[in-house]
Amino acid sequence: MKFLVINGPNLNLLGRREPAIYGNKSYAALCEHIKATAAALGIEVDIMQTNHEGVIVDAIQDALGKYDGIVINPAAYTHTSVAIADAIAAVEIPSAEVHLSDVDSREAFRHISYVTPVCVVRVTGLGFDSYSEAMKKLLAHLQNNG
């Protein structure tokens, strides 16, 4: 199995950005956490981060035929991007939506997710472990629906 992990805008600022919400660990630490989880699960993983919506759409489209699953934290684009949702739907690669914080308990605008309906898994509010849980659940989904 091979997963693509896509991280959206401002996640590169982890450790500096609102530590009361996102914690004080860096983006590099998140990447190490993801790699360790993937290794433990026997999954190959590629990780990317961008602040640009079109780059995310391109990465999703480019994943076709290369990855078995996508783990995506669209960050602020969760609440605004029909284009990202459309790309996930178009490639039909099983995808997991991830958020470090519990977006459902935050501001009302964060309760809207355009990507939830096109993802097979959604994990929020567990910090770095949101990624671990999403990867486990996505792997189980792929094994059960393979």
- For the chain, domains (ranges, CATH) are 2-145 (3.40.50.9100)
Question: pLDDT digits over 117-131, tens only?
Answer: 999 999 999 999 999
pLDDT over 90 at 16, yes or no: no
Residue 92: name the closest of 145, 46, 137, 133 by CA: 145
- pTM of the predicted protein model: 0.93
In whole angstroms, what separates CA 12 from the centre of its chain? 14
Q: Distances from the Cα of 106 to the Cαs of 45, 101, 102, 120, 124, in angstroms?
A: 30, 9, 7, 23, 12
User: Could you give the residue numbers annotated as active site?
Assistant: 22, 99
